[in-house]
Amino acid sequence: MAVTPEEHLSWILERVAPTPEIECDLRAPEALGATVSRDVRARYDLPLWDNSAMDGYAVRAADVAGASTETPRVLRVVGEVAAGSAEDPRIEPGAAVRIMTGAPLPGDADAVVPVERTRVDGARDPSGAAAGRSGGDPHPWAESSVAVLAAAPRGANVRRRGEDVPAGTVLALPGQELTAARIAALAAAGVQRVSVHRPPRVAVLTTGSELRTGDGPLVRGQIPESNSLLIAGLLRESGVAAVETVRCPDDVAALRERLDDLARRCDAVVTTGGIGPGRHDIVRVALADEPGVRQVAVAVRPGRPQGAGRLSGGALLLALPGNPVSAAVGFELFVRPAILAMQGRERLQRTRVRAIAAAAWRGAPGRLQVLPVRVFEDPELRCAPVVDPRGVSHAVGGHGAADGYALVDAERGDVAAGETVTVMLVTR
Ligand SMILES: Nc1nc2c(c(=O)[nH]1)N[C@H]1C(S)=C(S)[C@@H](COP(=O)(O)OP(=O)(O)OC[C@H]3O[C@@H](n4cnc5c(N)ncnc54)[C@H](O)[C@@H]3O)O[C@H]1N2
Ligand code: MOO
């Protein structure tokens, strides 16, 4: 009797132990993709102080009330603050200070007039700058006096201290991924280091005497090894670098030795191949001696034979079929969620969208069909198989173009062109 994919995943997740917490510097390369293990709060108000949203003049709003092109208000320019400046120049009534985007707003100012709303007042400006837009510079800056051509109410073009995020706000919660945006938010708020789950140490073990990795000529029966690249790459896309990739010929004793060694040193071992009923399917044979591991048929197509559990050496084992697309599907349904759960990740599932089937295909009655598709907009979201739906598991070439997998429930049957299906996206 086959188990459902949901049941198999739950069985695996019950056996997952989260990795310990470690401190991680936000600027270290391993921060990206790590999973936060404790609340992280903003140390600073964001913005840190009131500052200018525009290049222009910091003014007292009352001084420029009613200003217009016809009735400009002329102000004395008494200084300048650039981004990074610690200056807080006094601004008496009738005065203004040149200010650049991001620079702290002087304490006496309550508004900023953008430079485009000003004119250099040539008659009063001893710097000699001509009035108006001159000299090829569309927005000349006044040295000593500026004519303001528009009113700026209190707060105009001012970014208030703490208006984005006040200090103390929780910016990251346990289980959340350190994405580029989240890392930037934390760094901006003064955070240097965060607690994350240590990335699991995961080994990839491929089996098969037919597999070759060099670029030498292949004799009949040999094929290039590709599953280790697939699995290690998918792991990397899940935030984990495979610590080791091991190849094993179809020899049970050799496999047991490698499994025992990896089980002691790793948090998880992912194998591909050798799990079918064939005479040389050594993973099936070796795992039969492991009491914590179960081998089941899962009601999914492709990816039916699966093994999972805890090896006596300690590591979590996830045994995938050798057919490359079956291995990829098994990774998505079982390995990726397990690896994310080991990191304490709150969200284990890929993003799912609804898309219109651009072609008809035969379903897989009684099994969840997981069909590699490309996804495109025309103008709505559509999906089309990238492999022949009648023979998916070995179709490693076509699979390379997949953006995701159409998920067709066991009860649904065939899919007609124009029907809507659920697609699990695998591209970021
Ligand atoms: N009599 C039966 N035969 C098969 C059954 C079955 O129920 N009864 N199930 C089929 C299904 S479904 C699958 S899936 C496969 C499971 O096969 P294995 O896990 O034992 O995989 P292998 O036999 O080792 O390899 C299958 C296929 O994939 C190629 N392969 C394997 N590893 C790699 C690799 N690292 N890189 C590239 N290609 C790889 C291998 O050469 C084979 O072509 O069993 C069916 N048979
Ligand atoms: O279930 Mo196998 O994985 O169909 O090819």
Architecture of domain 352-425: Beta Barrel (2.40)
pLDDT score of 71: 97
* Predicted local distance difference test score (pLDDT) of residue 132: 45
CATH 3.90.105.10 fits 32-46+167-197, yes or no: yes
pLDDT value of position 131: 46
Please report the atom of ligand 1 found closest to the CA of residue 228: 35
Residue of 227, 326, 329, 369 best suited for mutating to test ligand 2, as the one with most atoms within 8 Å of CB? 326
Smallest CA separation from ligand 1 atom 28, residue: 323
Question: Which residue is listed with tokens 């039916």?
Answer: 304
Q: How far apart are CA 336 and CA 405, in angstroms?
A: 15
- 51-159 classified as CATH 3.40.50.720: no
Cα 329 to middle of ligand 2, angstroms: 9
Q: How far apart are CA 266 and CA 424, in angstroms?
A: 29
Tell me the per-residue pLDDT of 157-171, one tens digit each, with 9 for 90 and over: 999 999 999 999 999
Domain boundaries, the chain: 5-19+200-342, 32-46+167-197, 51-159, 352-425
Amino acid 135: pLDDT: 54
CA 289 remoteness from chain centre:
39
The per-residue pLDDT for 348 is 97
pLDDT value of residue 1: 82
Alpha-carbon 203 to chain mean position: 23
The CB of 197 under 6 Å from ligand 2? The reply is no
Amino acid at 76: R
Distance between CA 236 and CA 70 in Å, rounded? 63
Residue ranges in the chain modelled with pLDDT below 70: 122-136, 428
What fold does the segment set 5-19+200-342 form as a domain? Molybdenum Cofactor Biosythetic Enzyme; Chain A (3.40.980)
- Residue 258 CB–ligand 2 contact under 6 Å: no
pLDDT at 311: 98
What does pTM read for this prediction? 0.91
What HEC string does the chain produce? CCECHHHHHHHHHCCCCCCCEEEEECCCHHHCCCEECCCEECCCCECCCCEECCCEEEECHHHHCCCCCCCCEEEEEEEEECCCCCCCCCCCCCEEEEECCCCECCCCCCEEEEHHHEEECHHHCCCCCCCCCCCCCCCCCCCCEEEECCCCCCCCCEECCCCCECCCCEEECCCCECCHHHHHHHHHCCCCEEEEECCCCEEEEEECCCEECCCCCCCCCCEECCHHHHHHHHHHHCCCCEEEEEEECCCHHHHHHHHHHHHHHCCEEEEECCCCCCCCCHHHHHHCCCCCEEEEEECEECCCEEEEEECCCCCEEEEECCCHHHHHHHHHHHHHHHHHHHCCCCCCCCCEEEEEECCCECCCCCCEEEEEEEEEECCCEEEEECCCCCCCCCCHHHHCCCCEEEEECCCCCCECCCCEEEEEECCC
Q: Which pLDDT belongs to residue 130?
A: 46
Q: Which of 300, 393, 394, 399 to mutate to test the pocket of ligand 2 (most atoms within 8 A of CB)?
A: 393
Tell me the pLDDT tens digit for each residue of 84-96.
999 999 999 999 9
